Structure formats: structure tokens, C-alpha cells
Structure 1
Amino acid sequence: MKPIWKWVIGVFVFIVLALSVTVWYFSKNWKPIVEEKLQEVIKKSTDSLYTLSYDKLDLNLAVGNVTLENAALVPDTAVYARLEATQQAPDNVYHIRLKSLKIKRFGIIDMLTNKKLTIKSISLQDPAIQLTNKYHAYNDTVASKPKKTLYESVKDVLQSVNVRDIDMENVSFKYAKITDGKSADFAVKDIQISVHDVLIDETSLADTSRLMYTKMVEIIVPGFTYNFANGIYQAKFDELKINTRDQNILLTNVDYKPVMNKAAYFKKKGKNVTMADLHFDTLRMEQLDFRALLDNQQTIAKKVQLKNGHAKLYNDKRYPKSPKNQIGQAPHQKLLRVEQLIDLDSVFVENIDVVYGEMSGKYYREGEISFNKASGVLTHVTNDSMRLAKDKYLKADLRAKVMNSGNLHATFSFDMLSKNGAYSYTGNLKPMQAPSFNRILTPLLNVEIGSGNIRSVRFTMEGNDYRSWGDFRFEYDNLKINLLNDEGDRKKKKMLSFLVNQLIINDSNPDANEVYHVGKVNHKRVPEHTFFKNLWQSLLDGIKQTAGISPEREARLVGSAQSAKKALEETKGSVKKTKGFFNRLFKKGEKDKQE
């Protein structure tokens, strides 16, 4: 028996050695075949625009592994020039380099015999991708013949390609946009990309469970900063996560703000142009249609979330302002005019501080009004004509703490199909102390509210491009206004303050005679006023009426002062001061009208 086992072992060793020699031989001698096929695939799939180069190609047929070192996919400038001459050049050109590309479980036999390529995994180390965008007008027109799909480009070489996993580590990406011979660039590094289950065959493109032939693409982009070309604003975020399988996009610590302080901003602008400072801890989109986004630049999502942050707007009235006609420029009207389709079921706002600040052109002090911890939801945010034909209203339901004090609840309804921008809104403000508004009144108007209990504010309004109308109810008591000296020492003008409190405003509503004043608003819009400024002007009309400051009362007060010149001047001064107080609060002075 012993010689038999020796013979069996000898045969086994011989077979192993023969196989090893065969694998070694084919690994060495099939390398040119693999290289030839690889170059053929690149050439056919890119219409000869790109060439592949590398320092080393290792092929191990025993385990089915392939390694490329220092590989580069480079566009041929001569070919690109010819494509431009024949108006066939693409707008985007890629230049890709990587330290290594490792392919595991590469089915070379099946590829060569059946034209089917199956790969377990592909790993790319330190890829550097440069995308250059150069606009060509002819790419905007409809092509006479449809562009080839990726499968159509490779089907003569391969009938199918299936890759289970692709991992790219430490990806660097640079984007360059060439306009009129000038290049605007931005770059980001250390990107992580994972791709799962890639399938390229005659059926995969129609597979609705796949996006660009894949079951899933996950991208993680670390801290990114982009400085805009104007040198004023900067956009940045800490991290971006994209998952096409879960249909989510997540941005953390998102900022859009100037790179300079307020003084430098307005000095650089040279005019009173609103400065914006936006920050959100979380910006998330859920159930986002990536296919519509990539194929047609359409934004379709079930949910958008803005959480924990602020939206701060500032103006400086020491600088001139160039007024423009604002008719037709309401937010819902602008949304309807966006060329790309936007369709968001719900936009959730959570814990956002909304602040408006202004530097006084007269007193050189800055005042602020704030709506703290704003939260709520906007629904049916869309410019899709088919959806609007079924439901034409964009709605918003929002809550906030005014001056971090009184609880405000407001609802808006925008008619997206109205030719004159029709909308309606209701609101109510819970009890708060009126002196909370001194943070904006004293710096800007040099007046202060000495006391006042706001018991409630309720309003129901409608409006369009040209006017606003509705009911305004304001219940309060113990309201006292103090007019201050111009010197900035906050000393009261006692006589004028007395006249204002005794003769012009009601210190309560219902008033001392138990008459309840309701504001009947019928406000004609100033065309140069923005949508939000027009809202304030309409509410101002209601405030003045409920406080007893009617035009008739002002006229009677002025008429009663004709008997004495000094009294006349004092009274006129008080009327002018008081009228200016309310008008300037909502920016309705004659100076603003002229602007």
C-alpha cells in the first residue's frame, strides 16, 4: 500500500505544480490581452476622448486580482479640439489620477469567453478628480440622435458588468468653471465614497430600484468652505452625507455669511443693501428623488428640515438705498418663476432665531427686533403646475417668541396661481410686556415705552400686490410713551411725553370710556415696499387705529392748538414726534416714500 500512496501523492503534487505553472504562464502572457481589452473599453466608451495610463499592472489569475499603480484617465486635448470644431464636445471634461486601483475576484475567463465581467470589489486609493466645465451653446439644443447609454458604449466588448462594492478613500475633487476665458475654482478633500451593487447590462438602466446603474451610493464630505467671487460672502459646512438608497441628504453646521463685520460690509457695498447671516445646525432632505435631480435638475422631496440656528438680516440707514418696484416679488411669486421644478411636501423649521437689525441714520445706534425659537411647517412648497391645478395653496404654520417674550402664532396661505399675488394670514400674540420692544425703539427712534401690558393681539388679514385689508384687535393697558432727548442721555422730554400720553394715544383698549377699538385695515401698498415691509405697514394701520391715533384725531389736535403760537409749536412738535415714532417704526416716513 505504501507505494500506492506515494504514487497518489506524486500525482497530486504534479497536478498542483502543473496548475501553478499554468496560472503563472497565463498571468504573464495574458497581461497584454487584458491591457488591450482595457484600452478598448476606455476608447469605445469615451469616443476616444480619454486615454488610460499607469505605471504597473499586476494580474493574478489564481485569485482573480488586478492592481493598477499610479493610474491616470486623461482627456486628449487634440480629440477635444476636434469635437469642439464639429460641435460635439461635452461641457464637462474629467481628469482623474489615483495612487492605486485594486480589483478583487476579477472573472477574466468569463469576460473573455462570455463577455461578462464580474468583480467582487474595487478599491481606489487617493483619487484626484478634476472636473472642468466649459459652456457650449449647442449642448442646449435637442440632439438629432440620442446619446449612447453606458451599456451601448461597452456592449460590443462586454455584455454585462457587475461590481459588488466600490470604495474610494481620500478623494480630492476640484471644480473649474471656464467663462469668457476666466476660471472660477473650488476644491474639497478627504471625501469618502462607497458604491454598492453596480450592474451594467441591457436591463439595468430601466431598473427603478437603481440610480445610475447602482443600488446605493454613499458620499461623506468633511469640512468645506467656499468663498464667493464677489469677495463678500462665504458658504461652509462641517459635513455632508448623501445616501441614494435611503434618499437622504444631511448637512451639519451650515453657514452662509459675510467674511467681514457689518461696518466693513456696508462700507464695501457703499449703499444700504441688506446683509444676511444664516446658520443651521442641521439641514436635511428626506425621500429626495435623486433621479429627477440628476437627470432634470428637479428638486422633489417629501421632507426638508432646518433645525437649530438663526437667520439674521441687517440694514444701515447711514448709507443710501436704491428703491426698486417690488410688485410681483413676493416669496411665493418668486417660487412660481423658478425655471427648475421644485416640489417639497413639507419644510419643517425648528428652533430658528429670526432677527432684523438696523443702524439708525440719525442716532447712529443699532436696534433689533427678534422672533426667537421660531418653529413650524410649510406645506405644499411647489411650482409644479400639475400639483397646483389640484391644490393651489402654499401654507405656513409658524410659532415664535417675539423679543424672546410673547408667544406669537401665525398662519399664512399663498395663492400660487393668483395673477395679483393674493394671500391671507392670521395671527395672535399672547400676553407680554410692551417695554420689551425698547430694544428696537430706543436706538432707532429715540423713544421708549415706559410701561404697558399687552394682553393679546389678534389679526385676520388678506392682501395682494396692491393693497391689504382685514381686522386688527389689540388689547392692552397702562401704556406710557417717553420721548427722549436727542443727546443720547435717555432723559425724558416730559412735556411732550405728557401730551402724547394724554392727548394722542389711548393708554388702554378698551379705553377709559370702555370703548373697544377695532382696527379696520385698508392699506394701499407703496410699490417700492417689499412684501414683508408691506405686512408691517398693514399691521401698523391696525395698531394706530386701536391705539386711538386716527387721522381725524390728529387733525383735531392740531386745530385746537391754533390759539397760541407756542402751544401750536409744542403741539405740532408732539404730533410730529408721535406720528414719526409710529411711522418710522414701520418705515413709512416721507423720506422712505421718496426712497
Structure 2
Amino acid sequence: MKPVWKWVISIVVLIVVALGVATWYFSRNWKPILEEKLREVVKNSTDSLYQLSYDELDLNVALGNVTLKNAALIPDTNVYGQLERQNKAPDNVYEIRLSALKIKRFGIINMLTNRKLSVKSVTLESPTVHLTNTYHAYNDTLSTAPKKSLYASLKDVLSSVNVDQIAMDNVSFTYSKVHDGKTKDFSIKDVKINIHDVLIDENSQADSSRFYFTKKMEVVVPGFTHKFPDSLYMVKFDALKINTEERNILLTNLDYKPVMSKAAYFKKIGLNKTMADLHFDTLSLEGLNLRELIDHQQVLAASALLKNGHAKLYNDKRYKKSPRNQIGQAPHQKLQRLKTIINLDSVFVENIDVVYGEMSGKYHREGVISFDKASGILTNVTNDSSRLAKDKYLRADLRSKIMNSGNLHATFAFDMLSKNGAYSYSGDLKPMQAPAFNKILTPLLNVAIGSGNIRSVRFNMQGTDYRSWGDFRFNYDNLKVNLLDQDGEHKKKKVLSFLVNQLVINDSNPDANEVYHVGKVNHKRVPEHTFFKNLWQSLLDGIKQTAGISPEREQRLMGSAESAKRTLEETKGTVKKTKGFFNRMFKKDDKKKDK
């Protein structure tokens, strides 16, 4: 009799051989069945628009592994042409290619017997996705016919599909826009996508905890740079991260800026058209409805964050500016006209430098005004009519250091439903030294503030497309202005400066007679002035009044200057130059208004 251990070994060997034979049989005879099922699933789920092809299919029933080598999902051009003739073709068509598709722990027995597909993991190696968009006017009309769900497309073949994990590394994506026979391409590479817990059955589509049948999807796009076609601008970022479970999007080191220097930009366009340079270390959206973003291009989120960066705007008056009517072009009016629905509960701003620079057309020097380290919050940022029916105001509460010196606090309220662009704003400026504003005054007006203590500024204003009104209070003392030589060497014109300081501007408020001047602003908008320029012109009216320069006094002072001309030989031409100073500083001369 053979020893017991020999019997045990014999039985184990017999079992292994039996399993090997069974595996070989299933692999050889069930492979055609599996291939047929794969093609049937693709055909039914895409209404015959796409075809699945591959070089080789490896099946191991014992381990439950399947590998498709050099797989491709390709649109059938004949079917697409037929759909176009029937006005049923989609605008978007995909072509997907993989070096390999690997499926592990694939329950083939359960699939064929119970029509339930369960997979441990799917890996797509080096996928390339090419999306081609061709506009069809008939797709602009919303169809009333019910759309066939993915489960409805699969249910005749499988009752459910469950995949624990799908991994895609080094994804290359190309978007091609076809218009009037011309194609424009946009590409990104090295994208990483991880998908967790995919479930397709009769209930999963209605499961609000899932995003397109998945419990979680993570997308990471690495460093990216793109120059916009027919534009002087480019966009770049270090990384884009999307997490569907946490419902957020994160962009790091985002830039939107021209592809050339300021000088080259204005020389290229040949116009005094504002140049923008935007940078944010962090731009994020939290509580984002990704389904609405993808399905209907609606941006619905709990909050957005702009952190650590700058928003710089530049103009160059050495170039011609084409006058354009700016009525109805305020930021809140543009938001209201957007076709895309925007609905953000809050937008947080943290440590953003806002800079406006202008190159003088006369002195060829750049003046700059800055609002440094701006922070605050915007609320009810929306153009959704149902949301605005409950609260029609977009509000902003912002703080910054103007000229990196005085602390400025301003609040805005924009009436999003107003037909004439109604808005209001108020604010206050804490103590600072007036010469800080020489960075913008000297290059543009050839004038410098010699001294001046700004104790406080407070304003409370309202406005529409056509007019601004309100109160302006400006407390200051020891204000002295120096007019400078034309050559830019900053030599003081002593007589002119004396006339301005003695006859035109109060050196303090309250003035020497202890009269406190309050600016009662009633400013009529110049239609060609932008929203922000109109804001400045309205505040300038308040500054002039609080400095004691009413229109009546200004006329009397001009008369005093004429008298000074007759009595002072050495001041020949003073009045003309003084008037020029007023015209530049206070924009009095209508012919020289900046359109």
C-alpha cells in the first residue's frame, strides 16, 4: 500500500490537472462568446455609432483576468454621416485608443450565468482621447424625446456592472473644434485619472451620492500652457485637481497674461486698449455641482477662493484710443448677460495686489496706483433669476492698503435686476501721508505733493449708468503741491506752485477759517468712461469740493491768476500754465477728456 502522503500528493496533482484542463477549455471555447458580448455591449450602449477593435484578447478564466492589446473605440463614419442626414448627429465625437486594457478578477461565470459583471480593477495603459466638436444648429433646440440611459442600453446584456477601481495614467487628450471647414486643436498630456466604485444598475443613476455612477473620481492635470488662437494672451497653470467626492476643483499658480512685454503689446495692437495680467497662487471652487457643470455648463458652487496673486491693468496713452460707449458695461451688468448660469454663495479674496498703470502720452512716464494685499468677500455672486428673486444684490466687502500705505475699507452693493445698472458703495481710508500718491501724479501730471497728512476719508455714494451722487468727507492738513518742470527733472516751478497752494487749494480741511467742507457729489457720467473711471471721476468731484474748489471759486481763482499775471512780469504765461494744470488734474477741458 502506498503511504498516505503519496495518496494526498496524487489527489492534489489530479485536482491541479483537472483545473488546468478546465481553464484551457474555457479559455479556448468561451473566448468567442466573450468577444461577441463585448462587441454587443459597445454597439447597444452607443446606438451603433462606435466600434470596438483590438489586436488580441487574452483570457484567463481561473484568475479572472482579461487583457485587450492595442484596443480602440472608433466612431463609424458611415453611421455618423447617416445621423447628420437625419439631423440626429451629436456635436461631439470621440476616438479612444489604448496600448492595453487590463481587467483583473473578472467574474466571467457570474456574468454568463447571472448577467452580473463584477471586476476588481481596470487599468488603461497610455490612453489617447481625441474629441472632435462640429457645430450642428439642430442641437440648439432641446429635444423633448427622453434620452436613453446607460443602464437601458446595457440591461438586455447585463443586469448590473460593478468595478472597484479604474486607473488611467499618462492620458493624452486632444480637443478639435471644426468651424467653417477649419480645425483648431487644443491638447493636454500626462493626465492622471482614478475612479472608485463604479456601479451601473437600475437604481444607481438616481443615486445622488454618485457622480455618473461613481463614488469617487480624482483627476490630476500637470503643468499646462496654452496660447489662445487669434489672441495675444496665454493661460498656464502648475496643476489642476478635481475630486468628485469632495466636490472641489483646485488650480495652482494660474496665469492669464499676454505672450509679450507691455511695450510690445501696445506696439502690436497700435491702440490704447487695456492690457491685463492676472496671477493667482490658488484658485479653488468648493461644493461644486460637477454634474450641472458638465451637463449644462452651469457653475454652481458654495464658494470660490482667489489667494495670493495680482490683478494688473495697464494703458498707454501714447496710442490712440477708440471711443466706445460704456453704458451698460459695468461688471455686474456683464455678469447678468452671461449665457452661462453662475451661482456662487461666496467668493473669498485673500492677499491680492490690484494695480493700475498708465503710460503718459505727454511725459512718456508710467504712473501707478495700487491697492495692495486686497482681501475680503463677495456674496450672492449670481445671474440666476430664481436666486435673484429672493435677493437681488451682489455684495462686496473689501480691504486693502492703498499705495501700500493707508488702510482702505470699501463695501459695494450691485442691484442685479436694475435696468439702469443701479449700485451703491461706501468706504473709509485711515491716516496716511499724501505724498504716497506721487507714484501716479508725478508721471502723469508732472506734479508732486510736497506734504500732506490725510487724517481720514469717508464716502457714501450711489450711482446708475448715467449719474453718481452722495457725500464725500476728506480730513487733511499741511497739504502742499509742487508743479514740476516740463523736462521731467522735477525742479519746482515756485511761482506756479505758490499760486496753486495760496489761491486754489485749501491746505487743510477744516480750512484756515475753521470751515469744514463736505463734498456733495452730483456727477454726470461721460458715456465713454468705463465703470471704474466713472467711480474715480465721482470721487474726484468730492475731493475738489472738500479741498475748497467749487466751480464758482475756480472761476474766481482763474480771475485772480489773471491779475497776478499783470502784476508779476516774471510770471509771464502763468495763467495759461495754471489752467493747464487744472485741466490735467481736474479734467476741466472737455476737448481733452480721456475717452
TM-score, normalised via structure 2 length? 0.97
Quick one: distance in 1 between partners of 2:573 and 2:518? 30
Shift in Å at residue 13 of structure 1? 2.8
Q: Which residue of 2 aligns with 1:579?
A: 582
**Counterpart mapping for 1:326-341 below 5 A:** 326-341=326-341
**Counterpart mapping for 1:408-427 below 5 A:** 408-427=408-427
Quick one: distance in 1 between partners of 2:276 and 2:591? 24
Please say which of residues 75-84 and 273-282 is displaced more in the overlay: 75-84
Give the aligned residue type for 1:295. Answer: D
**Counterpart mapping for 1:322-401 below 5 A:** 322-401=322-401
Contact persistence 1:499–1:571 (CA under 8 A): no
Shift in Å at residue 4 of structure 1? 6.0
Quick one: distance in 2 between partners of 1:537 and 1:455? 22
Q: 1:565 to 1:459 in 2, by over 3 A?
A: closer
Shift in Å at residue 385 of structure 1? 1.5
Give the aligned residue type for 1:440. Answer: I
Give the aligned residue type for 1:214. Answer: T
Deviations 1:237-275 (A, max 9, x none): 000000000001000000000001111111111111100
Shift in Å at residue 314 of structure 1? 0.3
**Counterpart mapping for 1:442-481 below 5 A:** 442-481=442-481
Shift in Å at residue 593 of structure 1? 3.6
Q: Which residue of 2 aligns with 1:225?
A: 225
Q: 1:474 to 1:18 in 2, by over 3 A?
A: same
Q: Which residue of 2 aligns with 1:176?
A: 176
Aligned-residue RMSD, C-alpha: 1.7
Give the aligned residue type for 1:543. Answer: I
Q: Which residue of 2 aligns with 1:25?
A: 25
Deviations 1:121-172 (A, max 9, x none): 1011111111111111111113252231111111111111111100001111
Deviations 1:473-521 (A, max 9, x none): 1111111111111111111111101100011000111111111111111
Quick one: distance in 1 between partners of 2:524 and 2:407? 29
Quick one: distance in 1 between partners of 2:336 and 2:36? 54
Contact persistence 1:540–1:582 (CA under 8 A): no
Shift in Å at residue 12 of structure 1? 4.0
Shift in Å at residue 47 of structure 1? 1.8
Q: 1:290 to 1:81 in 2, by over 3 A?
A: same
Gaps of 5+ in 2: none
Aligned partner of residue 105 in structure 1, secondary structure = strand
Shift in Å at residue 205 of structure 1? 0.8
Contact persistence 2:565–2:575 (CA under 8 A): no
TM-score, normalised via structure 1 length? 0.97
Please say which of residues 109-118 and 13-22 is displaced more in the overlay: 13-22
Quick one: distance in 2 between partners of 1:239 and 1:19? 49
Please say which of residues 569-578 and 94-103 is displaced more in the overlay: 569-578
Q: 1:453 to 1:144 in 2, by over 3 A?
A: closer
**Counterpart mapping for 1:71-82 below 5 A:** 71-82=71-82
Alignment pair present for 1:309 and 2:309: yes
Alignment pair present for 1:150 and 2:150: yes
Deviations 1:293-322 (A, max 9, x none): 122211111110000000000001111111
Shift in Å at residue 220 of structure 1? 0.2
Shift in Å at residue 431 of structure 1? 0.9
Deviations 1:208-244 (A, max 9, x none): 1111111111000001111011241000100000000
Quick one: distance in 1 between partners of 2:561 and 2:227? 60
Shift in Å at residue 53 of structure 1? 1.5
Q: Which residue of 2 aligns with 1:547?
A: 547
Give the aligned residue type for 1:277. Answer: D
Quick one: distance in 2 between partners of 1:334 and 1:592? 29
Q: Which residue of 2 aligns with 1:441?
A: 441
Q: 1:458 to 1:565 in 2, by over 3 A?
A: closer
**Counterpart mapping for 1:192-207 below 5 A:** 192-207=192-207
Quick one: distance in 2 between partners of 1:338 and 1:594? 29
Deviations 1:181-213 (A, max 9, x none): 111111111110000111111111111111111
Quick one: distance in 2 between partners of 1:324 and 1:76? 50
Q: Which residue of 2 aligns with 1:486?
A: 486
Quick one: distance in 2 between partners of 1:563 and 1:193? 80
Shift in Å at residue 571 of structure 1? 5.2
Please say which of residues 181-190 and 278-287 is displaced more in the overlay: 181-190
Give the aligned residue type for 1:237. Answer: F
Shift in Å at residue 378 of structure 1? 0.3
Aligned partner of residue 183 in structure 2, secondary structure = strand
Give the aligned residue type for 1:484. Answer: L
Quick one: distance in 1 between partners of 2:491 and 2:580? 16
Q: Which residue of 1 aligns with 2:95?
A: 95
Contact persistence 2:479–2:507 (CA under 8 A): yes
Deviations 1:427-456 (A, max 9, x none): 111111111111111111111111111111
What percent of counterpart residues are identical?
Answer: 72
Aligned partner of residue 106 in structure 2, secondary structure = coil
Q: Which residue of 1 aligns with 2:37?
A: 37
Contact persistence 1:526–1:593 (CA under 8 A): no
Deviations 1:361-420 (A, max 9, x none): 111111110000000000111112122111111111100111111110001111112222
Aligned partner of residue 399 in structure 2, secondary structure = strand
Contact persistence 2:562–2:575 (CA under 8 A): no
Shift in Å at residue 335 of structure 1? 1.2
Contact persistence 2:170–2:189 (CA under 8 A): yes
Quick one: distance in 2 between partners of 1:438 and 1:562? 28
Quick one: distance in 2 between partners of 1:442 and 1:296? 51
Quick one: distance in 1 between partners of 2:181 and 2:78? 19
Q: 1:207 to 1:564 in 2, by over 3 A?
A: closer
Q: 1:231 to 1:144 in 2, by over 3 A?
A: closer
Contact persistence 1:500–1:574 (CA under 8 A): no
Contact persistence 2:496–2:578 (CA under 8 A): no
Shift in Å at residue 563 of structure 1? 5.2
Quick one: distance in 2 between partners of 1:237 and 1:6? 68
Quick one: distance in 1 between partners of 2:322 and 2:455? 39
Aligned partner of residue 400 in structure 2, secondary structure = strand
Please say which of residues 524-533 and 563-572 is displaced more in the overlay: 563-572
Alignment pair present for 1:248 and 2:251: no
Give the aligned residue type for 2:549. Answer: I
Shift in Å at residue 589 of structure 1? 4.8
